[in-house]
């Protein structure tokens, strides 16, 4: 299958005319035809005639100098604004919303010649870790359809695992790229805040939201990030730091790299099979010349409370704009999970409770930054689990709101500080 | 701070601030859920944050300016701006009256 190849292998094959963009795009639609309904990964599938016509055009215009993404099919989490293409954020509030402009990340991919195949299912507004909090029906894990795909970027992860797309752009606030990437067995990168423009991204929690790649390999993610990262005049929080050539850093040599293993992340609550897999990975890194360093990060226990105070606070403010007047449906269309998050956030920001909750959480955020700075002064990278358990059964998390929140215990620890993480 | 038990009136007040209209059933359910979730989050009170400065953003960027000129590429036509609205009148959005006669 062509879609088993990495992006750079696909790009090389296209240039040598071993196969065409039409061939790759055809494979995507065959897979969608076969598995699309069952997995429920898509909210909107782009009409295949449109995509194939575009692929043919790309095949005709390809030269030696075209981008490696030229003619490569991709999907977007339905949190990205796409001109003239319905964008829902998986919520009935936006079920008929047709955007008037393009998100920066989408525009950059179009400019590179990549081909959009679909807009993907997710937890509405990013509110969830299982792609069950969606008004378009739960998405299913391609490895076991009785289980969830993870979330909130579940649809994009499924599309890659089930070979319906070469790559995807997800969005990570408290684990939304890493969690489904881990549960669908693909590679996802939560980038440093500000590395990629958020212009045209439907906001969940604005001081946490990050735009990142999801693909089959780390090399694919490096290639994608190189292309989509960078300062954007339309997003004042985008980073002015130069974008490194990430692909050139993939030498395969990790000799002497110090890998920190925070012991708090491997305690009670971590599934034994997941722990075993991480141990195997750690041993592998060690055999390649890396040094393993056990360290302690005692703030661990406070991660979830901090995230679930700041995230809902920001989302209650961001979602206040949905009044059904300029676009979208009324506020009674929010799902119970989204209403709950709006209510938690409104409470944490309300007079009399602001100091005890929101302000306290923002102070804790400072302490977390210090703790990570300390940890990263003694090692180069940290190795941690993404999820505490294997994928849950469909419906299991939705019945208990607190259990639903607790599933994010590891991923939420990495979002509010200036740090990137990958699965 | 002891774990707070949310009453129906508490939830009604928060819903009003959040501009959400909730049914009696929803009010009851959310009262229970808020008690459990906020109860869990309250463990943050045990953290010593005396004298710690708050972090509200992590970019370190301040005063990001642009030239004070109109960027026509980002302007929507009136027709386009109104294209998703359910209720328009003579090129305007129609909103509920905010003043009584």
Per-residue pLDDT tens over the stretch A265-283: 998 889 999 999 999 999 9
Min CA distance, B99 vs chain A (Å)?
Answer: 17
Residues A218 and A332 in one domain: no
Q: What is the rounded distance in angstroms from the CA atom of residue A320 to the CA atom of residue A331?
A: 9
Quick check: B37 and A340 CB within 8 A? yes
Residues A42 and A145 in one domain: yes
Residue B56, in any domain of the structure: no
Residue A212, Cα to own-chain centre: how many angstroms? 6
Q: What is the rounded distance in angstroms from the CA atom of residue A54 to the CA atom of residue A117?
A: 11
Q: What is the rounded distance in angstroms from the CA atom of residue B26 to the CA atom of residue A332?
A: 11
Min CA distance, B92 vs chain A (Å)?
Answer: 10
Q: Which two tokens stand for residue B18?
A: 């959040």
Neighbours of A280 (CB within 10 A): 10
Mean pLDDT of chain A: 94
pLDDT at A204: 96
Neighbours of A321 (CB within 10 A): 11
Distances (CA, A) of A115 to A107, A135, A159, A165: 11, 26, 14, 10
Residues A240 and A329 in one domain: no
pLDDT digits (tens, 9 = 90+) for B37-84: 999 999 999 999 999 999 998 999 999 998 999 989 889 999 999 999
Nearest CA in chain B to A364: B49
Of A226, A249, A272, the one marking the end of a domain is A249
Residues in chain B within 8 Å Cβ distance of A343: 11, 14-15, 18, 20, 30, 34
DSSP A342: H
What's the CATH number where B37 sits?
1.10.20
Instruction: Order across the sheet with A291-295: list the strands.
Output: A291-295, A258-262, A381-382
Residues in chain B within 8 Å Cβ distance of A97: 84
Residues A68 and A133 in one domain: yes
Nearest CA in chain A to B4: A353
Please tell me if residue B74 touches chain A, with a CB cutoff of 8 Å. yes
Please tell me if residue A351 touches chain B, with a CB cutoff of 8 Å. no
Q: What is the rounded distance in angstroms from the CA atom of residue A293 to the CA atom of residue A168?
A: 34
pLDDT at A28: 98
Q: Which two tokens stand for residue A151?
A: 């979330």
H helices of A288-388, in order, are 303-318, 336-349, 360-378
Question: What's A242-279 look like in SS3?
Answer: CCCCHHHHCCCCCCCCEEEEEHHHHCCCCCHHHHHHHH
pLDDT at B2: 53
* B49 and A364 Cβ atoms separated by less than 8 Å: yes
Residue B86, in any domain of the structure: no
Quick check: B84 and A365 CB within 8 A? no
Q: Which two tokens stand for residue A378?
A: 């003694």
Residues A59 and A183 in one domain: yes
Q: Is A187 exposed, middle or buried (0-12, 13-18, 19+ CB in 10 A)?
A: buried
Of A204, A221, A249, the one marking the end of a domain is A249
What H or E segment, with its residue span, contains residue A43?
strand A42-45
Quick check: A207 and B21 CB within 8 A? no
Residues A190 and A296 in one domain: no
Quick check: A405 and B59 CB within 8 A? no
Please tell me if residue B80 touches chain A, with a CB cutoff of 8 Å. yes
Q: What is the ipTM of this complex?
A: 0.94
Q: How many structural domains comprise chain B?
A: 1
Quick check: A305 and B44 CB within 8 A? yes
Quick check: B34 and A364 CB within 8 A? no
Quick check: A347 and B44 CB within 8 A? no
Q: What is the rounded distance in angstroms from the CA atom of residue A121 to the CA atom of residue B94?
A: 32
Residues in chain A within 8 Å Cβ distance of B81: 100, 326
Min CA distance, A282 vs chain B (Å)?
Answer: 30
Quick check: B18 and A401 CB within 8 A? no
Q: Which two tokens stand for residue A16?
A: 């040598």
Q: What is the rounded distance in angstroms from the CA atom of residue B73 to the CA atom of residue B2?
A: 54
H helices of A115-217, in order, are 154-161, 178-183
Interface test with B, best of A354, A363, A412 (most B CBs within 10 A): A363
Beta strands in A82-233 (DSSP E): 115-120, 140-141, 144-148, 167-172, 187-190, 210-215
Q: What is the rounded distance in angstroms from the CA atom of residue A76 to the CA atom of residue A388?
A: 27
Residues A214 and A303 in one domain: no
Please tell me if residue B81 touches chain A, with a CB cutoff of 8 Å. yes
pLDDT digits (tens, 9 = 90+) for A21-43: 999 999 999 999 999 999 999 99
pLDDT at B3: 64
Residue B13, in any domain of the structure: yes
Please tell me if residue B93 touches chain A, with a CB cutoff of 8 Å. yes
Q: How many structural domains comprise chain A?
A: 2
Q: Which of B1, B34, B84 sits opposite A343 (nearest CB)?
A: B34
Residue B22, in any domain of the structure: yes
* Nearest residue to A303 (alpha-carbon basis) of A390, A171, A130, A174: A174
Residues of the domain holding A178: 2-249
Residues A188 and A332 in one domain: no
pLDDT at A408: 75
Neighbours of B64 (CB within 10 A): 13
Residues of the domain holding B23: 8-46
pLDDT at A400: 73
What's the CATH number where A26 sits?
3.90.1300.10
> Residues of A with catalytic annotation?
77, 152, 176
Q: Which long-range contacts (CB under 8 A, 24 or more apart) does A32-37 make?
A: A32/A117, A32/A118, A32/A164, A35/A142, A35/A162, A35/A164, A36/A164
Please tell me if residue A50 touches chain B, with a CB cutoff of 8 Å. no
Could you say which residues of chain A have pLDDT below 50?
415-418
Residue B62, in any domain of the structure: no
Q: Which of A96, A236, A302 sits opposite B64 (nearest CB)?
A: A236
What H or E segment, with its residue span, contains residue A286?
helix A272-287
* A94 and A331 Cβ atoms separated by less than 8 Å: no
* A170 and A188 Cβ atoms separated by less than 8 Å: yes
Please tell me if residue B16 touches chain A, with a CB cutoff of 8 Å. no
Residue B33, in any domain of the structure: yes
* Nearest residue to A208 (alpha-carbon basis) of A191, A188, A229: A191
Of A203, A230, A249, the one marking the end of a domain is A249
Please tell me if residue A418 touches chain B, with a CB cutoff of 8 Å. yes
**Exposure of A377 in the CB half-sphere (CA atoms within 13 A):** 7
Residue B75, in any domain of the structure: no
Interface test with A, best of B49, B71, B83 (most A CBs within 10 A): B49
Residues A184 and A283 in one domain: no
pLDDT at A415: 44
pLDDT at A420: 59
* B12 and B20 Cβ atoms separated by less than 8 Å: no
Q: Which of A97, A359, A402 sits opposite B84 (nearest CB)?
A: A97
Residue B73, in any domain of the structure: no
pLDDT at A423: 60
* A413 and A300 Cβ atoms separated by less than 8 Å: yes
DSSP string, A57-110: HHHHH--TTS-TTTT-EEEEETTB-BTTB---TT-GGGTT---SS--HHHHHHH
């Amino acid at each position: 299958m062509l879609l088993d190849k990495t992006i750079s292998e696909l790009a090389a094959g296209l240039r040598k005319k071993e196969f065409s963009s039409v061939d790759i795009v055809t494979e995507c639609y065959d897979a969608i035809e076969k598995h699309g309904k069952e997995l429920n990964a898509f909210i909107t599938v782009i009409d295949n005639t449109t995509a194939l016509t575009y692929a043919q055009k790309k095949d005709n215009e390809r030269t030696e100098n075209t981008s490696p993404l030229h003619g490569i099919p991709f999907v977007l989490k339905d949190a990205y604004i796409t001109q003239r293409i319905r964008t829902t954020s998986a919520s009935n509030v936006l079920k008929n919303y047709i955007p008037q402009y393009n998100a920066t990340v989408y525009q950059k991919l179009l400019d590179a010649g990549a081909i959009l195949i679909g807009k993907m299912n997710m937890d509405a507004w990013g509110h969830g870790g299982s792609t069950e909090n969606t008004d378009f029906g739960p998405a299913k894990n391609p490895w076991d359809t009785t289980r969830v795909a993870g979330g909130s970027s579940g649809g994009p992860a499924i599309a890659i695992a089930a070979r319906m797309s070469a790559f995807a752009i997800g969005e990570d606030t408290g684990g939304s790229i890493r969690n489904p990437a881990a549960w669908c067995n693909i590679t996802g990168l939560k980038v440093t805040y500000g590395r990629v423009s958020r212009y045209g991204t439907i906001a969940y929690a604005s001081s946490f939201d990050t735009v990142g790649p999801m693909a089959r390999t780390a090399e694919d993610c490096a290639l994608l990030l190189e292309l989509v990262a960078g300062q954007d005049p339309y997003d004042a929080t985008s980073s002015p730091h130069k974008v490194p050539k990430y692909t050139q850093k993939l030498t395969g040599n990790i000799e002497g790299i110090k890998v920190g293993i925070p012991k708090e992340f491997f305690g009670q609550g971590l599934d034994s099979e997941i722990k075993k897999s991480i141990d195997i990975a750690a041993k592998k890194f060690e055999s390649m010349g890396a040094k393993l360093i056990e360290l302690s990060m005692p703030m661990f226990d406070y991660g979830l409370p901090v995230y679930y105070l700041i995230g809902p606070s920001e989302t209650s403010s961001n979602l206040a704009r949905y009044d059904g007047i300029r676009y979208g449906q009324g506020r009674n269309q929010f799902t119970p999970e989204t209403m709950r998050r709006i209510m938690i956030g409104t409470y944490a920001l309300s007079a009399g409770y602001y100091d005890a909750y929101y302000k306290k959480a923002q102070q804790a955020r400072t302490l977390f930054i210090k703790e990570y700075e300390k940890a990263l002064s003694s090692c180069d990278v940290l190795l941690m689990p993404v999820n505490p358990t294997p994928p849950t059964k469909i419906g299991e998390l939705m019945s208990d709101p607190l259990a639903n929140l607790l599933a994010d215990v590891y991923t939420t620890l990495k979002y509010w500080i200036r740090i990137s993480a990958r699965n | 701070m002891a774990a707070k038990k949310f009453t129906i009136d508490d939830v009604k007040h928060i819903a009003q601030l959040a501009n959400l209209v909730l049914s009696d059933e929803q009010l009851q359910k959310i009262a229970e859920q808020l008690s459990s979730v906020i109860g869990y989050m309250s463990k943050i009170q045990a953290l010593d944050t005396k004298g710690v400065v708050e972090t509200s953003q992590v970019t370190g960027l301040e005063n990001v300016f642009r030239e004070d000129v109109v960027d026509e590429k980002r302007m929507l036509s009136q027709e386009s701006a109104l294209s998703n609205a359910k209720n328009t009148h003579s090129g305007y959005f129609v909103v509920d009256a905010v003043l009584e006669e």
